[in-house]
Each structure stands twice: as structure tokens, then as C-alpha cells.
Amino acid sequence: MTEPTAGTPGTPGREGRAGTEQEAEWQRLDKRMLLIHPIQTFVRALPALLAIFVVQLGSDDSDRWELIVLPVIVAFGLLRWVTTRYRISADQIELRRGLLNKQTTTARLDKVRSVDLTAEVHHRLLGLARVEVSTGSAARERLVLDSLGVEEGRRLRAELLHRVDPDVITLPPPTGQPAGLEPPRSAPGPAGGDEELLRLEPSWVRFAPFTMTGIGSAAAIFGFASQGLGRFSEEGYVLEAGADWVRRLAWWVDVLGILVLVSALAIAAYLLSFWGFRLTRNRTGSLHTRRGLLTSREVGIDHTRVRGVELGEPLGLRLAGARRLKAVSTGLQGETGGGSDWLAPPAPRAVVLPVATAVTGDAEAVSGPLVPHGPAARRRRLTRAMLLPVVVALALGTGLPLWDWPGWLLWVVLPLGVAGWFLGLDRYAGLGHAVTPAHLVSRSGSLDRNRVVLTRNGVIGWKVRQSFFQRRAGVVTLVATTAAGQQHYDLLDLTTDRAYELVDELSPELFAQFPDACATA
């Protein structure tokens, strides 16, 4: 099923090629995709088929056009498999597809940043996986092979990420890793195998309702239920009696029911996303994750692309004693919704922190104390947190005499003020930074708090930003730019002197580009 192409040396260790350098061969996708491609083509053409069927119902024409179109769709799906080929040469991977409109996609092997294996239900039934090779974070920088056998996809991932023969059982120790990313020497994996850093425990589903997703789902369901019940009551639907019965229930019963429903939905979403989650690291230092209930996904992250970790500490997980962990790496889809950056799902803090330490090799950066940002930062957080209670108090103070509003509304200001005050204190408690020999650490937020551990050599630039109100308070925002993750990470409300001290300490070669700082130095 392969067609030789002259002139390009092959990569050893692949099926159908010798271990010595030879001509690279064009290879086809797995034969089992002959069962998948026609179905995928049929699903895409389904709206057109339905339109033809509806037109035929109102026509006297006895020709069954849909019976003619179906074989064409099947043939087109088969043609897609026949005209799709790929090969791996010494320096790039190529994908060629199309008959009349031929397209060739290439990706340099030294630019490969991650390799994802995704298997939806129909892929899993046939033992297939969709291989996605990424050379950047944008969709146009991805090469997709849909699909290969699962084992062949894993061998291809090993070959692309590690540049070694995947048939070799024992791999050499990692070399050339960025500072602070050395694998821990304790807890080695089995001989010839990968080191397991994390495996999902079923009991961790208890943390699902405490995520921000669960809280958002509660608000959405409450609004939808309120509108739906009102509609049933007003328009006289068949369910009117049931809707009225629900509305007559005590308020605490409604709240309890919503909490149970939201918790059930959050747990279901947790299981769909993270079932079977497993994080491993091979002897080259590269990370691999596997997860998913219906759609399984395997992600390989080249260790040379990892620039740190992001430790999620939202309020709900903090109250439950849990954390979550993501990778700060180049070429992943986490920032675009793909979820490739997960290193640990919501799990106990005592489990997540050791994983973060194992990945970064820096326990001080992961769990050490942070430097507070000073009184000005504290005043700004308290001022902004108390802004809503003050606005509400002014509105009520105006409305009571003008429109005869009930006086008990003033009691609303008290809980708002107390909540705002504690929110401001919590936001300041979560604000801080630290510098270790290998990393820059920043943390901010309250309801959605994150602690970012970024390698010092992963910072490629700095920006000092100051708003009008920050100028009055004498603070600035220091922005560390990087090619990984969100592309930039902010250190909020630092004093001006401290911001320039950090730039001088972490990037002395860039310090001269800040004339204001040099003038005060």
C-alpha cells in the first residue's frame, strides 16, 4: 500500500522501512478508515439529502435521486482514503491529499511542539486514533492524519517528539533541558517504561461541583428553569400542573434541587473529560497525558517546549482543599479551547503540588511563600471591592425619598459591604510574586486565582504598564511576555522601583531599554 519516492532518506524505526537510512516511502492511512470516511462524508451531505427527499415528496417524478447520490457519497469517501498519503523524511513530515485540487502540507521535525492522539467513539471501536502534529498554537500550524492505528499513532508520536527509534526500549537520559525542568530522581518508573506522575482516582469527582464551571452551570440552570416554569404557567402547556407544583415548593427545596442537579451535571462533565486520566514522563523528560470517557485523547508534550506550569486555585477548589494544574508550553491548544495543557484535573492539593514540583523541579516556586505587593496594592483591592456596596447605598439613598421605596432595602447594603470587604482582603492575600534561581512566580485573583511558575529563560520581553489610577497610587503592572501559554503573564500593582528591580534581576540585558529605570538607578 505504499509508493516509493526517491531522493529523501527515511527515518529508522518505522514499519516498512529498514533501520538504516534509505528512501522515504509514501504511506496511506489505516485501511479501517475505509469504513469511517464514507460515513463522515454521508453526515456532511445529510442536509442536501434531506432537501432532495423533501422535494421528492411533493413531486410526481418517480426518479429516486437519493439512491443515485448515495453511491456517489460512498465513492467520494473511498476516494478520500485513496488520495491521502504521508511520509516522514529526515527533516520533515509531509501530508498529500486531493485528486483534482491537490494539497501538500509539510511540518519540519525540529519545529514539532506536540503530538495529540484523539479517538472518538467510532475510532475507538475500530482501534484507530486521529494524529494531530502541532508546530504552533494556530490551527494553520497543524498537520492532521485521520486516522492511524492506535499503536502506530503512538509510535509516530514517539518518533516525532523524541527523534529516536521508538523500538528502542531503554532511552538515554534527558539532556539539554531548560533550567529547573530536570526529572526527579526519586520514584523512577518501571524498567524500560515511563514514570507515572499521576493517575485519576474515582473519588476526585467530588471536586467537580466546586469548579467555576459548576458555579456557572448553576446560574444558567437557575435562569433557564425560572423562565421555563413561567412560560409553562403563562401559556398553558401540558406541564402546567407540574410547573405550578414545583413553583409552590419551599425555596430551600428549590435551592437543594438545583444544587443536586448542578452537582450531577458537573460530575458527568468531569467524568467525560478526565476519565482514565494518566500523566507519565519518559526518560527523555517529555510528558504524556491520556484522558477521556467517550472521546479519548492522548497528548505528548516535548520537554524542551515546556516553560512552566499554571496552578489553578479558584475559590471553590480552595475551600474543598483541591487544586488543578496546566502546562505553560508552546504549541498547545489550551488557550484556544483544545485542552491539551492539562497536567492534573481538579484533585487534592496534596496530590497536585507534588506533580507540579516534579514537572518544574522547583518546590520553592510551587509552594513557597510569596512577596506581598505593599499597602498601595491592598488599598486598590479594598477600594474596588467596596465600590459596588457604595453605589448601591447611594442608589437606595436617592430612591427612598423620591419613589417611596421600602426602607428594608437598606439592609441589603450591609451584607454587600461585608462580602466586598472580605473579597478585597482575599484578593490582596492572593496577590504576590517570587523569584527563584530557575523561575519567576506570580499569583493573583480571588474567585479565579492562578499561580504561574514560569522559567526565567522562558521570558522573552517585558512591558511596564500604568493606568491613570495606578499613577495616582504609585504602582505599575509588569508584564512578562513569553512564547508559551497565554503569551504574557502580569504582575499586578507592583511599586515602580520593585518592577524595575525585577527586570534588572531577571533580564539585565533588557534593563537598559527602560530609560526611566536607568535614570533612577
Q: How confident is the model at residue 226 (pLDDT cuts 50, 70, 90)?
A: low
The Cα–Cα gap between 383 and 385 comes to 6
Are 476 and 497 in contact by the 8 Å Cβ rule? The answer is: no
- Residue type at position 288: H
pLDDT for res 421: 96
Fill in the amino acid letter for 180.
G
DSSP structure string for 187-228: S--STTSPEEEEE--GGGGGGGGGSHHHHHHHHHHHHHHHHH
* Residue tagged 438545583 (cell numbers): 258
Per-residue pLDDT at 128: 93
pLDDT tens readout for residues 26-71: 999 998 888 887 777 777 777 777 777 777 666 666 566 666 777 7
- Residue 78 has a pLDDT of 80
Residue for cell digits 437598606?
A: 410
Asked if residues 113 and 329 have their Cβ atoms less than 8 Å apart, the reply is yes
Of 171 and 200, the structure prediction assigns the larger pLDDT to: 200
What's the whole-model pTM score?
0.78
What is d(CA 150, CA 357) in angstroms, rounded to the nearest whole number? 31
Distance from C-alpha of 60 to C-alpha of 80, rounded to nearest angstrom:
36
pLDDT per position as a tens digit, 453-494: 999 999 999 999 999 999 999 999 999 999 888 899 999 999
Mean of all residue pLDDT scores within the chain = 80
Closest CA to 214 of 264, 164, 153, 279: 264
Q: pLDDT tens for residues 312-332?
A: 999 999 999 999 999 999 877
Q: Which helix (H) or strand (E) holds 142?
A: strand 142-149
Residue 449 vs residue 169, higher pLDDT? 449
- Of 13-17, 143-147, 151-155, the one with minimum mean pLDDT is 13-17
| Distance from chain centroid for Cα 109 | 24
> Three-class SS of residue 149?
strand
Three cell numbers at 344? 492534573
H-helix segments, 275-348: 315-319
Q: Judge whether residue 134 has pLDDT over 60.
A: yes
Sheet containing 195-199: order of strands:
142-149, 128-134, 114-119, 296-301, 287-291, 278-281, 195-199
Choose between 302 and 6: higher pLDDT. Answer: 302
